[in-house]
Chains A and B, each alone.
Chain A
Amino acid sequence: MEQERKCAMEGEGMEQERRRDGKNGEMLGTDGFQMEMEGFSRNEEFARVVVAVFMSRMNPTLEELDDVKTAVSEAVTNAVIHGYQNQGGKVGIACSIAGNELTVTVWDQGRGIADLKKAMEPMYTTDRSGERSGMGFSFMEAFMDHLEVESCPGKGTTVRMKKRIGG
Chain B
Amino acid sequence: MSNPLTRADVDRIARLAHLELTEREAEQFTRQLGDILAYFERLNRIDTAGVAATTHPVTSAPVMRDDEPRPSLPVDDAFGNAPDRGGERLFRVPKVIG
Partners in one complex: no
